[in-house]
Amino acid sequence: MNDSATRLVIAGMTTGPEKPHYMELHRMGYKINLRRRDYIHILNVLYQLGIMANCKIIKLQSKKSYSSYEELIRGNTTKILDTQYGGYEVEAVINKYISEKKGIYEYVYPFHAALIYWNPVCI
Q: Mean pLDDT per 10-residue run, the chain (123 residues)?
A: 86 91 95 87 93 96 96 95 87 96 95 94 72
Integer CA distances (angstroms), 74 to 16, 43, 67, 94, in order? 21, 35, 12, 11
**CA 102 to chain centroid:** 28
pLDDT number for residue 122: 75
pTM of the model: 0.79
Torsion of CA 39, 116, 21, 70, to 10 degrees: -110
Domain ranges of the chain: 9-118
- Predicted pLDDT at 123: 64
- 6 with 122: CB under 8 angstroms? no
Q: Which segments within the chain are labelled E, that is strand? A: 9-15, 54-66, 98-101, 104-118
Whether omega for the bond prior to residue 17 falls within 30 degrees of 0, making it cis, is yes
